[in-house]
């Protein structure tokens, strides 16, 4: 009888451990999915930042071109 009790107790522990592992696996899946969304969001933000920096650089280049045009117009008007 004591052996049967021990076997029953071990079986119960195995079932409990299995259930805990299943729950941990579900939690890990959710965290992995959340991490995937976070990673994707960071990549999108990085892409947007890259575009904004490129636009800022383009705007600076346009300003320089406009300044050069104004200077050329002024030079031609004096000559």
> How many angstroms separate the CA atoms of 26 and 60, rounded?
51
Average pLDDT over residues 23-47: 87
Alpha-carbon dihedral sign for residues 51, 56, 60, 66: positive
65 band by pLDDT with thresholds 50, 70 and 90: very high
> How many angstroms separate the CA atoms of 47 and 71, rounded?
36
Give the helix/strand (H/E) hosting 20: helix 2-78
Give the rounded percent of residues in the chain with a pLDDT score beyond 90.
34
> How many angstroms separate the CA atoms of 58 and 12, rounded?
68
Residue 39 in this model has a pLDDT that exceeds 60: yes
Between 32 and 74, the higher pLDDT residue? 74
Residue 2 in this model has a pLDDT that exceeds 70: no
């Amino acid at each position: 009888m004591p052996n049967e009790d021990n076997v029953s107790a071990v079986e119960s522990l195995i079932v409990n451990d299995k259930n805990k592992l299943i729950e941990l696996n579900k939690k890990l899946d959710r965290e992995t999915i959340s991490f995937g969304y976070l990673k994707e969001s960071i990549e999108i933000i990085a892409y947007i930042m890259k575009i904004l920096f490129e636009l800022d650089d383009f705007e600076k280049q346009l300003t320089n071109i406009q300044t050069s045009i104004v200077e050329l117009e002024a030079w031609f008007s004096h000559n």
